[in-house]
Amino acid sequence: MYSIDASKLNPSERKVLDTLSSHAKYKPAPTITEAASICGCSSSLVSKAVKKAGFSGYKQYIRYLYFGDIPHKESWDELERLKHVIDAFDMSLVDEFVDLMRSHKKIMLFGYGPSYICAEYFEYKLRLCTDSFITTLPDEASIRNMAGPESLLAIFTATGQYRSFQEIVLYAKSRGTDVVIISEEFNVLLMEHCDRYVVLSHHNQSGNLQPYEKTRTVFFIFIEQVVQKLLKDRNEREDPLGTSKKPDAPR
């Protein structure tokens, strides 16, 4: 699991990542020196840009860009795959997402097909543990009507392969809306225009499945951890010393 935070990048650094992302669609992976030439900048700027985006270095960035950094090629059944996902679960992404939610007055959730159902479930659970304005949007027209400053658009997608989000992301950003995309599998096209890109697993489901056929279990794991974090924080604010009296056990 990892998160790419483009909001930390200045325009020059963002241009480096956008240029290399476009390059990766059609051409082989460049060395860092070649990357600097492609971007018209120094190697040190390339290195700085990828590190500020959350990568350990240029080599790791290239592995993400071209291969999704999938270290395992074994074929697992779904339960075995989920064990690997849980073992690698990064709670810092939950903390980051909660902080992102709290920094916006309006939170819009969106997805296609089964991912939309996950978003609806998330809305229901969030209404139980936060006073923020939360809404799940059924279509792109709704995003166009709701997008605006101090808003966060959270897009859920298993693979990012069903339909491109580029047009609606660019529109939302033009209206002052921050955009985070949460996907289960890495897809280089998803990281191009959003402010933050959260990838929930290195362990992909079977390539024989269509995007709509893939499970959304990892989404629910992430959602429930976000909800638990919000509930815990709320309880600590209401009772910072933990002095609330517990009910007596039944006799």
Contact indicator for 169, 196 with CB cutoff of 8 Å: no
**Does residue 101 have a pLDDT over 60?**
yes
What pLDDT is attached to residue 235?
84
Domain shared by 208 and 161, yes or no: yes
pLDDT average, residue stretch 240-246:
63
Is residue 168 domain-resident? yes
Indicate the number of domains in the chain.
Answer: 2
Per-residue confidence (pLDDT) for residue 74, from 0 to 100: 45
243 in a domain, yes or no? no
Confidence of residue 70 (pLDDT cuts 50, 70, 90): very low
Q: Which token pair is 164?
A: 């491109």
Domain CATH for 168: 3.40.50.10490
Q: CA 49, 55, 61, 64 torsion: positive or negative? A: negative
Tell me the C-alpha distance between 2 and 196, whole Å: 11
Domain that holds residue 142: 78-238
Among 67, 91, 114, the domain-final residue is: 67
Q: Are residues 122 and 176 in the same domain?
A: yes
Is residue 245 in some structural domain? no
Q: Does one domain contain both 131 and 200?
A: yes
Q: Please say if the pLDDT value at position 71 is more than 80.
A: no
**Which two structure tokens, joined as six digits, stand for 180?**
């985070």
- Tens of pLDDT, residue by residue over 185-231, are 888 888 878 899 999 988 888 877 888 889 999 999 999 999 999 99
Residues 16 and 85 in one domain: no
Q: What is the DSSP string of 198-240?
A: EE--SSPPPTTS-GGGS--HHHHHHHHHHHHHHHHHHHHHH-T
Q: What is the pLDDT of residue 69?
A: 59
Structure tokens at 75: 């074929």
- Of 67, 87, 102, the one marking the end of a domain is 67
Residues 58 and 93 in one domain: no
* Residue 72 domain-assigned (yes or no): no
* CA torsion through residues 210, 68, 74, 114, sign: negative
Q: Same structural domain for residues 11 and 133?
A: no
CATH of the domain at 61: 1.10.10.10
Pair 148, 217 in one domain: yes
Give the CA distances from residue 190 to residues 17, 69, 233, in Å, rounded to whole numbers and listed in that order.
12, 15, 31
The 10s digit of each residue's pLDDT in 102-148 is 999 999 999 999 999 999 999 999 998 888 899 999 999 999 999 99
Residue where the block lists tokens 């709509």? 212
Confidence of residue 248 (pLDDT cuts 50, 70, 90): low
In this structure, the answer to whether residues 107 and 231 fall within a common structural domain is yes
pLDDT band at 75 (very low <50, low <70, confident <90, very high): very low
The amino acid that residue 138 corresponds to is P
pLDDT per position as a tens digit, 5-63: 777 788 899 899 889 988 988 888 899 999 999 999 999 999 998 888 878 788 888 88
Are residues 109 and 157 located together in one domain of the fold? Answer: yes
CB 105 within 8 A of CB 151: yes
User: Which residues, 6 or more positions from 38, have their beta carbon under 8 angstroms from its beta carbon?
Assistant: 19, 20, 23, 30
Q: Which pLDDT score is estimated for 245? A: 55
Does residue 85 share a domain with residue 58?
A: no
- Specify if 251 maps to a domain: no
User: What tokens does 47 get?
Assistant: 């290195």
Express the helix, strand and coil content of the chain in percent, nearest 5 each.
50, 10, 35
DSSP β-bridge partners for residue 38: none
Instruction: Quick: pLDDT tens for 149-178.
Output: 999 999 999 999 888 899 999 999 999 999
62 and 85 co-located in one domain: no
Specify whether 31 is located in the same domain as 146: no
**Which of 67, 88, 103 is the last residue in one of the domains?**
67
Residue 246: its pLDDT value, please?
Answer: 53
Q: What pLDDT does residue 54 have?
A: 75
CA angle 154–160–161, rounded 5-degree value: 155
Looking at the domain assignment, is residue 250 inside a domain?
no
Structural domain includes residue 185: yes
pLDDT in tens, 87-100: 989 999 999 999 99
Under the banding of pLDDT at 50, 70 and 90, the label for residue 236 is confident
